[in-house]
């Protein structure tokens, strides 16, 4: 009988893993899955370091409510994670020679007597989960990323916390920018989508917001800063997503993709700062928020979302709705097929009301 046809009573042992870059709320999901599973009379098994926890037989541990007490408010993941692209095609060494990564994972899944799996991750991890589902693993996905760029869900957990942190940073930069009559350029995360830049920029009262969805002309940003100067606002705050691109140019790279790792973005903030100094004659500084956005305690919104996602993921497993992802369709948490999610990116629609509200506030998007 293929795994995907298991019934509710056959789901007795549930594995949990976290994959991709971390995000505030991962521990809250783990806690929710462990509590929901245990309270439904099931056993929860934590797998270490994403799917690598299914490569060796000693990278798992039983998780009880006692083990997850107190982790709701803690950033990171108690299970560890890896962020190195799709390992599916890489053969792995075993005592008996080499073996396909997927074959080995499925073998260990059975050796650990798992009946279901909750995979918590972003686009890359969910794509791997989808492949495993096609190979028969009974699993449910939970969408995570501070970038908020997963389709079919209004929110991923982690996004709200990252936006709160970036907004606080912008607030702090406002006072120093104002005191020194400077331009402060804040680079935030967002590889393909500008959600963090847009939301934190609007919430923080930025003067320019540059996002991957709208290629920018730095001359227009400089013009805007000069116009502010002319009416007496002698400082400006520019928020730029790491994946934002000047018109006709590509993304700014710190490191090219290699060995399964995706390209590392970064540097657009410094580039914009240098250009704005030259074009406006004003002093400018860059602040890169980087991985600080991924740390810290999740906001109450993210704790709620993570808890609801975890509880619903267990419900879906027990209901044999495998190959699905939990999703937020306000006010409900629903199930969507993983196949509708993989290979797509949820970008900011250029006519989205928050974009229009930003423009209405006089914020330039550099276009
Ligand atoms: O996917 C979230 C994200 O924060 C991106 O915005 C960023 O480019 C990436 O992770 C960086 O990941 P890492 O440095 O951990 O590989």
DSSP class of residue 347 equals P
* Pocket lining: 243 vs ligand 1, CB cutoff 6 Å: no
Rounded Cα distance between 8 and 12, Å, is 8
* Pair type for strands 92-94 and 97-99: antiparallel
Is 268:187 a contact under the CB 8 Å cutoff? yes
* Pocket lining: 323 vs ligand 1, CB cutoff 6 Å: no
Closest to 308 (Cα-Cα) out of 337, 293, 330? 330
Task: Burial-class residue 51 by CB neighbours within 10 Å (0-12, 13-18, 19+).
Answer: buried
The full DSSP string for 292-340 is GGG-SPPPHHHHHHHHHHHHHHHHHHHTT-TTEEEEEETTEEEEEEGGG
Testing ligand 1's pocket by substitution, the residue of 18, 20, 21 carrying the most ligand atoms inside 8 A of its CB is: 21
Closest to 336 (Cα-Cα) out of 88, 160, 171, 156? 156
- Which residue's CA is the closest to the ligand 1 atom numbered 8? 191
- Which residue's CA is the closest to the ligand 1 atom numbered 15? 21
Q: Is there a cis peptide before residue 282, judged by omega within 30 degrees of 0?
A: no
Closest to 310 (Cα-Cα) out of 48, 59, 58, 14? 14
* Pocket lining: 244 vs ligand 1, CB cutoff 6 Å: no
Which atom, in ligand 1's list, is nearest to the CA of 149? 1
* Pocket lining: 24 vs ligand 1, CB cutoff 6 Å: no
Look up 302 and say whether it is catalytic. no
The beta strands (E) that lie in the chain are given as 13-18, 43-47, 60-63, 92-94, 97-99, 116-121, 139-143, 183-188, 208-210, 236-241, 253-255, 264-265, 284-288, 324-329, 332-337
Note the maximum CA span of the chain: 74
Which atom, in ligand 1's list, is nearest to the CA of 83? 16
- pLDDT, residue 98, reads 82
Tokens of 30: 């783990």
- Which residue's CA is the closest to the ligand 1 atom numbered 12? 21
Rounded Cα distance between 198 and 244, Å, is 12
Q: Three-state SS for 64? A: coil
Which atom, in ligand 1's list, is nearest to the CA of 266? 8
Testing ligand 1's pocket by substitution, the residue of 25, 80, 189, 196 carrying the most ligand atoms inside 8 A of its CB is: 189
The pLDDT tens digits along the chain (367 residues) read: 455 567 778 899 999 999 999 999 999 999 999 999 999 999 999 999 999 999 989 999 999 999 999 999 999 999 999 987 677 777 787 777 788 889 999 999 999 999 999 999 999 999 999 999 999 999 999 999 999 999 999 999 999 999 999 999 999 999 999 999 999 999 999 999 999 999 999 999 999 999 999 999 999 999 999 999 999 999 999 999 999 999 999 999 999 988 778 899 999 999 999 999 999 999 999 999 999 999 999 999 999 999 999 999 999 999 999 999 999 999 999 999 999 999 999 999 999 999 999 999 999 999 9
- pLDDT, residue 85, reads 67
- pLDDT, residue 4, reads 58
* Pocket lining: 75 vs ligand 1, CB cutoff 6 Å: no
Q: Which whole-number Å values give the CA distances from 361 to 201, 219, 364, in the listed order?
A: 11, 20, 9
* Pocket lining: 122 vs ligand 1, CB cutoff 6 Å: yes
Which atom, in ligand 1's list, is nearest to the CA of 262? 16
**Residue 15: strand pairing partners:** 45, 117
Rounded Cα distance between 180 and 301, Å, is 35
Give this prediction's pTM: 0.96
Cα of 223 from ligand 1 centre, angstroms? 32
- pLDDT, residue 5, reads 66
Testing ligand 1's pocket by substitution, the residue of 147, 244, 261, 292 carrying the most ligand atoms inside 8 A of its CB is: 147
Cα of 84 from ligand 1 centre, angstroms? 10
Q: Three-state SS for 168? A: helix
- pLDDT, residue 93, reads 77
Catalytically annotated residue among 22, 52, 123, 147:
147
Task: Burial-class residue 180 by CB neighbours within 10 Å (0-12, 13-18, 19+).
Answer: middle
């Amino acid at each position: 009988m293929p795994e995907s046809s298991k019934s509710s009573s056959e789901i007795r042992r549930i594995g949990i893993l976290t994959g991709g870059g971390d995000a505030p709320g991962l521990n809250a999901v783990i806690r929710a899955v462990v509590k929901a599973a245990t309270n439904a009379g099931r056993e929860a098994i934590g797998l270490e370091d994403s799917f690598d926890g299914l490569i060796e037989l000693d990278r798992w541990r039983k998780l009880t409510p006692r083990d997850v007490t107190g982790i709701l408010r803690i950033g990171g993941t108690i299970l560890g994670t890896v962020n190195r692209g799709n390992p599916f095609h890489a053969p792995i060494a075993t005592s008996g020679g080499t073996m396909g990564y997927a074959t080995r994972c499925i073998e260990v899944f059975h050796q650990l007597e798992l009946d279901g799996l909750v995979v918590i991750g972003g686009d890359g991890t969910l794509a791997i989960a989808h492949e495993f589902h096609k190979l028969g693993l009974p699993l449910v996905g939970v969408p995570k990323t501070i970038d908020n760029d997963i389709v079919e869900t209004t929110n991923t957990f982690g996004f709200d916390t990252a936006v709160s942190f970036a907004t606080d940073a912008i607030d702090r930069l406002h006072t120093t920018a104002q005191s020194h009559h400077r331009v402060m350029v804040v680079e935030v995360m967002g590889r393909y989508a500008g959600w963090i830049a847009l939301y934190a920029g609007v919430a923080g009262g930025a003067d320019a917001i540059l996002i991957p969805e709208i290629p920018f002309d730095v001359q227009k940003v400089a013009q805007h800063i000069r116009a502010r100067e002319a009416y007496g606002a002698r400082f400006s705050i520019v928020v730029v997503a790491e994946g934002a691109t000047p018109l006709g140019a590509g993304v700014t790279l710190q490191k090219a993709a290699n060995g399964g790792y995706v390209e590392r973005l970064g540097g657009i903030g410094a580039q914009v700062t240098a250009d704005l100094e030259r074009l406006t004659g004003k002093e400018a500084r860059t602040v890169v928020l980087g991985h600080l956005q991924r740390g810290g305690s999740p906001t109450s919104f993210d704790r709620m979302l993570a808890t609801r996602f975890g509880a619903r993921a267990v419900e879906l497993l027990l209901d044999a709705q495998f190959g699905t992802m939990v999703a937020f369709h306000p006010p409900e948490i629903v199930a969507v097929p993983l196949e509708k999610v993989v290979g797509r990116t949820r970008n900011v629609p250029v006519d989205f009301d928050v974009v229009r509200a930003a423009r209405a506030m006089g914020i330039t998007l550099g276009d």
